Amino acid sequence: MSMDNELPLRPHQAGMTQLVLPNDTNQLGNLLGGQLMHWIDLVAAIAAARHSHRVCVTASVDDLNFIHPIKVGEVVTLLASVNRVFRTSMEIGVKVLSENLLTGTVKHANTAYLTFVALDANGTPMQVSQIQFETEEEQRRFQDAMSRRELRLARRKKY
């Protein structure tokens, strides 16, 4: 494979960068939560599809924690990774960083955990292969994903 065809991320990861424009913000000049959720869903879907080589749909969003506001003019970097594959579903973690281009300050602004399901050509959930871990951080995310899954399934039983 030539260097032009190589991706900078592993096959179970995706990244995305956005500039926050006035149309993306509320009256206070902060990025709208709904806009950020849209970007999170997109980058998570890319990570899921990149890993599974299938169309993947959002099944749930477990946590979406807004840690710091993101201001107009800042750059948002979203980093998504498949944390764990179950059978037909995958937990995707998304870390959101905001960057003030004038000061160089980078903040961890948001973390989100989403579940995606891979679909076959008929729209039926299909089994997904496991991910291969290369780092201790990936192993930690793999283990933490099981705890979140147990909570998710317990919440589902309440409905």
CB atoms within 10 A of CB 109: 22
Question: How many structural domains are present in the chain?
Answer: 1
Helix ranges, 53-123 (H): none
Checking if the pLDDT of 107 tops 90, the result is: yes
Specify the pLDDT at position 4: 53
Compute the C-alpha angle 100/103/108, nearest 5°.
45
48-73 residue pLDDT tens: 999 999 999 999 998 788 899 999 99
Mean predicted lDDT score pLDDT of the chain: 90
Distance from first CA to last CA of the chain, Å, rounded?
49
Checking if the pLDDT of 123 tops 80, the result is: yes
Contact assessment for residue 80 and residue 113, using Cβ atoms and an 8 Å cutoff: no
16-38 residue pLDDT tens: 999 999 999 999 999 999 999 99
Checking if the pLDDT of 7 tops 50, the result is: no
128: helix, strand or coil: coil
Checking if the pLDDT of 118 tops 80, the result is: yes
CATH number at residue 31: 3.10.129.10
Checking if the pLDDT of 86 tops 80, the result is: yes
Name every residue whose Cβ is closer than 8 Å to that of residue 103 and which is 6 or more positions away in sequence: none
Determine the structural domain holding residue 14 and report its residue range: 3-157
